[in-house]
Structure 1
């Protein structure tokens, strides 16, 4: 099935690690150049001046290919967390803002991994818990750890 017909993963304010992973794969599969822009920042449309220097091209002199590149700078912006990201000027800035808001600083990430590892290590079945529920709880812990970069 063509990945371009799949609906993008909506972020609803929880399970950020899952959403981040899914969004990364979604964007890469639909438009890899857009993913590069999210990671490195907006494409600057430049032209070489008479001195051989690259300078930002005037919007008045854009051609069709320039407009397509500029469109990619806005392509991955979604509707969620509008207040948090409304001041952002690029998809990279949005991505970084959401990462900081939901994953925190490196110290917060380390603390979160420590807590998840503790849950993983002491994991056990709760009385009268179904196999489906225990499996779901365990998968949730493992997926959160994977989302934080901890592989097993």
Structure 2
């Protein structure tokens, strides 16, 4: 495939690991020498005096070979900048070389990625251990569960609706066993929506409350 036909991946501040891997291969396929410059630093443009001491050569003294090195260094920077979205350019504003740009990004994002993973691990533990509290209203249970599920979704950890339905049913206490069995036997869990499940559980909750109210009280004999 012609490298010119491959679209440069653009980093927008999310999913840094994915972008880093894609960008590395994109640059290698476009100009491998630029990738070497990004990894190891710019091509040196120096001059050596009579005493054998090297120093950076002034642009006014560049030879044609020096200009080629300067252009290659600039191309490495340009390739990286092409893959960094407008919202993230402030993070590389102080970088003078392609290597400085590349090395600065992990400091900002790989630490954030680790924090994200830890947060996902904590929320997954809460998700897996989720249970309705004894005598907790369905509305309250739903609110607690949605809070966990929504945060996981925002962090990129999403579940299919059918899996969420099964998780809710497993979280209910023994007094819900008859209703859970009825739902599992009479409803297609693959097509049942979360809203429909909550509506069904809330309706049954009213029935359970009425049964408690209608239950005759034990008479205390003198």
Residue from 98, 101, 109 that aligns with 2:105 = 98
Aligned to 1:147: none
Is it true that 1:37 corresponds to 2:44 in the alignment?
A: no
Deviation at 1:115, TM superposition (A): 6.8
Q: TM-score, normalised by structure 1?
A: 0.65
Deviation at 1:8, TM superposition (A): 1.3
Distance in 1, matches of 2:23 and 2:6, equals: 12
Secondary structure (helix, strand or coil) at the match of 2:74 reads coil
Q: How does 1:93-132 map to 2 (within 5 A)?
A: 93-104=100-111, 109=114, 126-128=160-162
Distance in 2, matches of 1:84 and 1:127, equals: 38
The count of corresponding residues between Structure 1 and Structure 2 is 124
Q: TM-score, normalised by structure 2?
A: 0.47
Distance in 2, matches of 1:68 and 1:23, equals: 24
Cα offsets for 1:62-93 (capped at 9, x unmatched) = 12322221123232323521111111111111
Aligned to 2:51: 51
Instruction: Report which of the two has the higher share of helix.
Output: 2
Deviation at 1:116, TM superposition (A): 7.2
Secondary structure (helix, strand or coil) at the match of 1:55 reads strand
Distance in 2, matches of 1:74 and 1:96, equals: 17
Higher relative contact order (CA 8 A, sep 6+): 1
Distance in 2, matches of 1:116 and 1:22, equals: 24
Distance in 1, matches of 2:120 and 2:37, equals: 32
Bigger mean CA offset, 15-24 vs 78-87: 78-87
Secondary structure (helix, strand or coil) at the match of 2:47 reads strand
Distance in 2, matches of 1:7 and 1:36, equals: 21
Gaps of 5+ in 2: 129-156, 164-222
- Aligned CA distance change for structure 1 residues 64 and 5 (closer, same or farther; 3 Å): farther
Aligned to 2:69: 69
Distance in 1, matches of 2:70 and 2:5, equals: 23
Deviation at 1:42, TM superposition (A): 2.0
- In terms of Rg, which structure is larger? 2
Gaps of 5+ in 1: 130-152
Distance in 1, matches of 2:117 and 2:74, equals: 32
Distance in 1, matches of 2:54 and 2:5, equals: 38
